[in-house]
């Protein structure tokens, strides 16, 4: 056999073995997921026949608990500091469930396997003349890191919403303090007022109100709020209230000063974005607008010059 043909046959065999291995792995994972879903469905039907209307939510939670339990050994072997950092990021993204880290790792591995399988099947069906191993590995890496990118995007979106809504929260706190409401009642009232405009901030404020009702000290509840939001202004607000309480300063005056500072910060960020707008417009103007404008202005002159040369 010609050496070139033997090398080609060896490469084809390698791609086939890789595809078969990935297919078997993904089929096994899908089989396990389908088996779990079918078992959950049978349990739901059995409890529905027994007139238990709350069975469906419990069984759905049981399925997620099984996935979390399956991924828990991987978390146990990780660095505790990394676990705390991941847990903090998930809380900032709004995932407060205890099994959220395990589900995050499950999403990572599921994305890696699914991305590799889909890429391999697409290359195999289209018969594309590319390096199958390279593209499959790249797709697996993209699927593995996709949940992390999605998590960072959610955190950034929430953080931007918190920065916009926190000055309004401070203004309402000033109004409530001057009206004579205690802090606990003020936070509870403001959480209900901000539901429409800033739902994420209102959710965290409602959690603060529930923690205070459960017996958590005000300072600890506000410190937890700052950690959940990941916002420096919220942490400074907690320190401000604690200092005002310890030193006996006027709470309404402290809140008013801090509220003015928050409004100035929001205005400064808006002005900064406005000043940066001309610099950001340079690239689209240079690439898309100026060439069209130049062609539009010079085209008639070019046509006349060509016509004059043609007449000569």
**β strands within the chain, DSSP E:** none
Those residues whose C-beta lies under 8 Å from the C-beta of residue 106, and which sit 6 or more positions away, are 67, 68, 70, 71
Cα 173 to the center of its chain, rounded Å: 29
Angle (CA) 264 270 275, round 5°? 120
Q: Global pTM? A: 0.66
Residue 241 has pLDDT above 70, yes or no: yes
| pLDDT tens column, 84-113 | 888 888 888 888 877 788 888 888 888 888
Cβ atoms < 10 Å from Cβ of 224: 18
Burial 281-293 (b: 16+ CB within 10 A, else e): eeeeeeeeeeeee
| pLDDT tens column, 187-240 | 889 988 888 889 999 999 999 989 988 888 888 888 888 888 888 888 888 888
CA distance 281 to 204: 37
Residue 171 has pLDDT above 80, yes or no: yes
Output Rg (C-alpha) for the chain, integer angstroms: 30
Domains of the chain: 161-267 (1.20.81)
| pLDDT score for 17 | 59
Cβ atoms < 10 Å from Cβ of 111: 21
| pLDDT score for 122 | 82
Cβ atoms < 10 Å from Cβ of 63: 16
In contact, 218 and 209? CB cutoff 8 Å:
no
| pLDDT score for 75 | 60
CA distance 292 to 147: 41
In a 3-state reduction of DSSP, which class is residue 201? helix
Residue 175 has pLDDT above 70, yes or no: yes
CA distance 232 to 226: 7
DSSP state of 51: T
Angle (CA) 252 253 259, round 5°? 85
């Amino acid at each position: 056999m010609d050496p070139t043909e033997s090398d080609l046959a060896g490469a084809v065999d390698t791609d086939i073995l890789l595809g078969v291995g990935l297919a078997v792995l993904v089929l096994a994972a899908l089989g396990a997921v389908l088996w779990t879903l079918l078992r959950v469905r049978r349990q739901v039907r059995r409890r529905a026949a027994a007139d238990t209307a709350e069975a469906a939510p419990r069984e759905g939670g049981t399925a997620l608990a099984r996935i979390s339990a399956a991924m828990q050994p991987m978390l146990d072997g990780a660095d505790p500091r990394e676990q705390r950092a991941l847990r903090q990021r998930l809380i900032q993204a709004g995932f407060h469930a205890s099994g959220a880290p395990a589900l995050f790792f499950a999403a990572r591995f599921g994305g890696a396997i699914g991305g590799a399988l889909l890429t391999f099947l697409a290359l195999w069906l289209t018969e594309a003349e590319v390096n199958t191993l390279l593209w499959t590995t790249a797709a697996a890496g993209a699927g593995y890191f996709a949940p992390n990118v999605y998590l960072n995007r959610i955190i950034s979106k929430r953080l931007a919403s918190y920065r916009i809504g926190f000055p309004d929260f401070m203004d309402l706190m000033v109004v409530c303090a001057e009206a004579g409401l205690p802090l606990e009642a003020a936070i509870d009232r403001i959480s209900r007022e901000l539901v429409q405009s800033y739902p994420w901030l209102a959710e965290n404020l409602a959690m603060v109100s529930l923690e205070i009702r459960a017996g958590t000290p005000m300072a600890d509840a506000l410190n937890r709020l700052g950690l959940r939001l990941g916002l420096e202004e919220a942490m400074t607000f907690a320190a401000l209230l604690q200092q005002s309480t310890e030193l006996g300063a006027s709470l309404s005056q402290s809140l008013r000063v801090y509220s003015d500072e928050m409004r100035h910060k929001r205005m400064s960020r808006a002005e900064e974005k406005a000043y940066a707008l001309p610099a950001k417009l340079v690239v689209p103007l240079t690439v898309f607008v100026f060439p069209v404008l130049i062609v539009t202005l010079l085209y008639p002159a070019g046509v006349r010059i060509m016509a004059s040369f043609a007449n000569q």
